[in-house]
Amino acid sequence: MTTPRTIAIGGDHAGFTYKATLLGFLESAGYTVKDFGTHSADSVDYPDFAHPVASAVESGEFDRGILICGSANGVAITANKHQGIRAAICWQEELASLARQHNDANVLCIPARFIEVELAKAIIDRFLTTDFEGGRHANRVGKISC
């Protein structure tokens, strides 16, 4: 596998503080990152940030996406409306591994209100360094899009 190098990141007000920390974490690890917002802790609507991140990954402009909100449900639901997106909510490292290995997930959704930022970093690292296994999983993934 080619290691992803470009990351689109975004989130709502509940994910704003984590996103700021995670941007620095990703950049220090050598990734090229584009922040799609939000750019403050003021209340916003998560689809306004989830759609641009999903579109950027779907178009191939970015290798992977990361979305952060309170529960991760809203951003995951929104991102998964895009045909080329397989967004996965992960709150443990093993879930990030399985999302990549079995589902070829290309957008990671982090529930900021339910995990510590250090765990979020470990989940991101696992998500970005785990390969899709293909094989029997490729057939299943091929059936996801409508």
CATH of the domain at 31: 3.40.1400.10
Contact 124, 25 (CB under 8 A): yes
Residues annotated as catalytic (active site), given as ranges: 69, 102
- Name the CA radius of gyration of the chain, rounded: 14
User: Which are the contacts of 115, defined by CB distance < 8 A and separation ≥ 6?
Assistant: 91, 123
Let me know if residue 101 belongs to a domain: yes
- Number of separate domains in the chain: 1
Instruction: Examine residue 70 and state whether it is found in any structural domain, yes or no.
Output: yes
- Flag whether 36 is in a domain: yes
In a domain, 1, yes or no: no
**Which residue range is the domain that position 112 belongs to?**
6-142
Please report, in tens digits, the pLDDT of each residue of the chain (146 residues total).
Answer: 567 799 999 999 999 999 999 999 999 999 999 999 999 999 999 999 999 999 999 999 999 999 999 999 999 999 999 999 999 999 999 999 999 999 999 999 999 999 999 999 999 999 999 999 888 898 888 888 88
**Residue 91: which H helix or E strand, with range?**
none
pTM reported for the whole predicted model: 0.96
